[in-house]
A and B are shown apart, each in its own frame.
Chain A
Amino acid sequence: MKIIVCVKQVPNTTEIRINPETGTLIRDGVPSILNPDDANALEEALKLKDANPGSTVTVITMGPPQAVKMLQECSAMGADEVILLSDRALGGSDTWATSNAVAAGIRKIGEYDIIFCGRQAIDGDTAQVGPQIAEKLGLPQVSYVKRFQRDGDHVIVDRALEDGYETLRVKMPCMLTCIKELNTPRYMSIPGILKAVKKEVTVWNAEDIGVDLQTVGLKASPTNVFKSFTPKPKGAGVTVEGDTPREKSENLLKSMKQRHII
């Protein structure tokens, strides 16, 4: 099987700093990691490869040159080939422009049976790029996958919903976005690390993937960030004590009166 995994390098912090001028992320001085949901996507791809000898796993990302480090980590976990889409023309892309570039990169890779993406990145939190890639490649897609099983030329997956899950059978090729309940990502191995640092990372620019320059980059991005800010942390919540609902509502009432709310 030919398996593709789309990943993103993200800042390793929950305190994202944003440039107020451009509304984009400040990456300087923040250590970068493989986006956690993408690690689950890669793990599922590697498990599928382990179960189907002769399969290959190709990891693709779009980002600045330093994303090579994250791709080396993907190699050390077991990816066969790693590809970086990197070009100034791609900088500042929103989800629509990003999915245009990544879809073009995947078209250049050629044949594939399945694409795994992470549900969403911890920096942007949009959960849009995976589904958009599927749309642009004309593939069936299932998001929020928490269980995966191959069934011949189909896959059977459980899609997590807020109050349960649904089981779907999808024909390959298809695109799945993965959530952390799906698996536990493996560690890089020592032999994997030693091999990964010697392996060449394939770098493609906008011209290599033949993408229309009018559809990528900051200017082509239809999303404009109006305003972004780091919200102040909220204080701890208060639990209203009481043994019975009546007692609880009395205590709540008392507390509201004390605070002059009513």
Chain B
Amino acid sequence: MEFSYSREQQMVKQMLSDFCEREIAPIAAEIDEEARYPYETVAKLGELGIMGMPFPPELGGAGSDYLTYIMAVEEISKTDASHGVIVQTHNALCCWPIFTYGTEEQKQKFLPDLLSGKKLGAFGLTEPNAGTDAGGTQTKAVLDGDEWVLNGSKIFISGGGIADTYVIFAVTEKGIGTKGISAFIVEKGTPGFTSPKHENKMGIRGSIAAELVFEDCRIPKENLLGQQGKGFKIAMSALDVGRLGIAAQALGIAQGAFDETVKYMKQRKQFGKTLDKFQALQFEMANMKTRIDGARFLLYHAAWARDAGEDKLSPLAAEAKLACSEAASYVVDKAVQFHGGYGYIKDYPVERMYRDQKITEIYEGTSEVMKMVMAGDIFR
């Protein structure tokens, strides 16, 4: 067992810490306030190889392992969770399924632009009546000659309307539940494909979530991703990968809020001394750190297991996401509390981190779903 960062991991963290300080920190509050997608910084992350980090160089990726990629998402999310989820959704939920289930032609056609960050990717599974229960999917795809015709709508899609390439799930055979779902690659600008509404979210406001609408949207037959009827399996395996990234995002938020609190406690004076001199607060900081570090080990272990090709990745990913998002929930709550009134106003980043954290317990599988996945493994 190795418990130290490799030299390349140190350098990735150092570079991103530098990048976040110079490029992301100055705009984090602004993109949150304005709910503005940070095109410029995302383009720069693409140039640095972040938008295709865990994929092979032959296809335009950076060629990193998954563990180092997870550390990158964590590092970015320490400064801004919106950037964290933008990187994460693109890599894990769009590039990964195309890389894993795509034909050679599909990979050659879509991946070079996606992995270099020239194009952005998104993932469309959730619908008004199909969230945690993907079996309720109502968007349908019917084969008509050489084209699939899509009808229906998706909601809460991260990067919706912004992204260029979408992995979309639709029913190709009714009445057989999840076995009737297939995956498709849909490109922005296809007639009949629109994203009419952006959600007004509580947190991660710099990452846009939107509704997607398909009205007789015709896509080429060869845009079916994987086999017909295997869509649910593709979605679930992508979410297994995705959960590690969301866990990393949650962990980054927790660490970021913790670091901000340490800084604040050293300078804020009450009753004639700085907050870091109060033992009640010191002890609580020790509790917070214990939760963060414990969650980090679960996450790094799950990512390591994926790199090592271990079996049973689903319960490991679920455990990591559960632990990281719950640690983050605990930490941001205390972070705001320790900032007092200043934690409740937008002058300090912990206010934003408090709002950004909540989604990590909800998307890419709620905490309850994480427990279902783990229970399924415990009692099988």
Listed in ascending order, the chain A residues whose CB lies under 8 Å from chain B are 69, 72-73, 76, 187-194, 196-197
Contact = CB atoms under 8 A, between A and B. Distances in A.
Nearest to A77: B15
Contacts of B7: 69, 72, 197
Contacts of B47: 189
B57 A190 contact: no
Contacts, number: 46
Contacts of A188: 11, 14-15, 48
Contacts of B63: 191, 194
Contact of B64 (A69, A73, A76, A190): A190
Interface residues of B, number: 19
B18 A194 contact: no
Nearest to A184: B22
Contacts of A69: 7
B62 A190 contact: yes
A-side interface mostly: helix
B350 to A, nearest CB: 27
Interface in B55-82: 57, 62-64, 72
B57 A196 contact: no
B57 A193 contact: no
A190 B18 contact: no
B19 A190 contact: no
A187 B48 contact: yes
B57 A187 contact: no
B38 interface: no
A187 B11 contact: no
A36 to B, nearest CB: 12
Contact of A197 (B11, B48, B49, B57): B11
A193 B19 contact: no
Interface of B: 6-8, 11-12, 14-15, 18-19, 47-50, 53, 57, 62-64, 72
A188 B12 CA distance: 8
B8 A197 contact: yes
Of A72, A193, A196, A197, most buried by chain B (CB within 10 Å of CB) is A193
A16 to B, nearest CB: 21
A191 B49 contact: yes
A72 B8 CA distance: 10
Contacts of A72: 7, 11
A69 B47 CA distance: 23
13 contacts: A72-B11, A73-B14, A187-B18, A187-B19, A188-B15, A190-B12, A190-B49, A191-B49, A193-B11, A193-B12, A194-B62, A194-B64, A196-B11
Contacts of A192: 49
Nearest to B12: A193
Contacts of B57: 191
A190 B62 CA distance: 6
Contact of B48 (A189, A194, A196): A189
Contacts of B48: 187-190
A187 B62 contact: no
Nearest to A31: B14
Nearest to A190: B49
B59 to A, nearest CB: 13
Most buried by B among A72, A190, A191: A190
A188 B19 CA distance: 10
A191 B62 contact: yes
A13 to B, nearest CB: 16
A189 B8 contact: no
Contacts of B6: 197
A197 B14 CA distance: 14
A194 B18 CA distance: 18
Given A189-B47, A189-B48, A189-B49, A194 B8 contact: yes
A73 B10 CA distance: 11
Residue in B15, B53, B62 with the greatest tally of chain A CB atoms within 10 Å: B15
Contacts of B62: 189-191, 194
A30 B260 CA distance: 23
A192 B64 CA distance: 11
A184 to B, nearest CB: 9
Contacts of A187: 15, 18-19, 48
Nearest to B7: A197
